[in-house]
Amino acid sequence: MKRFLAFALLALLALAAAVPATAQVGDPLRDQWELRAGVTEHDVSIFGLGGDKGKENSGAINAEIILPQSPLLTRLTPGFLRDTFRPQPWVGGTLNLGGKTSYGGAGVLYRGYAGQRLYGEWATGLVIHDGVLENDLSALLLGLQNGSLTEPFTDAQMLQTLIDLQDLDFRQGRNIEFGSRVLFRNAFTLGYRVNRKLAIEGFVEHLSHGTILSSGSNEGLDSYGLRTAIRF
């Protein structure tokens, strides 16, 4: 997957070099819709904010739609953000290609330009995922944990306990325990605007519930990726 991301980056740079540049490419143009899509490396160590890394390491496809600037959202945004990084709603998600966790949601992003081509962006919002909340205990292990199953144990119970422990260890080693079906998503993007319609972007994102949405496990998920963005 890392080789694929490197190849994708080279392809995007080649595309950027091939498309003629135009003046004033950094104009806000916040009354336009924007579609962006690309590939991500799922479950990597970026900020050290998640739990055990690499449990679900795999490739994924990311796609988002950026909506035109919302007057209501603008009025609700603090002045120092509104004037420099005027907000736009986003909706989108990520489809995992390895059968691991996929997710989708919506939120708001704040984008600011450094010059006419380079821009940075912070996006925040909520997503719903189809991953594992907690690795459930078997009935036998649950009985041992809550004390409802006590000695003396039969040979069959002891053997089944070993089997269940091995199964639990296997599942804990391959499944992120998110602890909540709804998660916060924060993403940071660095983009280069090729022209008024086309841009290339690199981004990193973090998903977790921050012990705010749930008191359960909170291993979290970090990913990074590359994508193209097209205004229409």
Q: How confident is the model at residue 180 (pLDDT cuts 50, 70, 90)?
A: very high
Q: Give residue 12's pLDDT.
A: 43
Q: Positive or negative CA dihedral for 31, 36, 42, 46?
A: negative
| Cβ-proximal residues to 86 (8 Å cutoff; 6+ apart), any chain | 28, 30, 69, 74, 77, 110, 111
Q: What does the pLDDT look like over 197-207, one tens digit per residue?
A: 999 999 999 99
Q: pTM of the prediction?
A: 0.75
Burial zone of 115 (CB within 10 Å; 0-12 exposed, 13-18 middle, 19+ buried) = exposed
Contact 89/105 with Cβ under 8 angstroms? no
Q: What is the pLDDT of residue 60?
A: 97
Q: What is the mean pLDDT of the chain?
A: 79
Pairing mode of beta strands 87-96, 221-231: unpaired
Residues 66-78: pLDDT tens digits? 998 877 777 777 7
Q: Do residues 188 and 206 lie in contact, with contact meaning Cβ atoms separated by under 8 Å?
A: no
What the block records as the tokens of 207 is 């998903």
Interval 113-140: pLDDT, tens: 888 899 999 999 999 999 988 766 656 5
Q: State how far the Cα of 174 lies from the Cα of 207, in Å rounded to an integer.
A: 17
Residue 166: band (very low, low, confident or very high) from pLDDT cuts 50, 70, 90: low
How many C-beta neighbours within 10 Å does residue 152 have?
Answer: 5
Q: What angle do CA 179, 185, 189 make, to 5 degrees?
A: 150
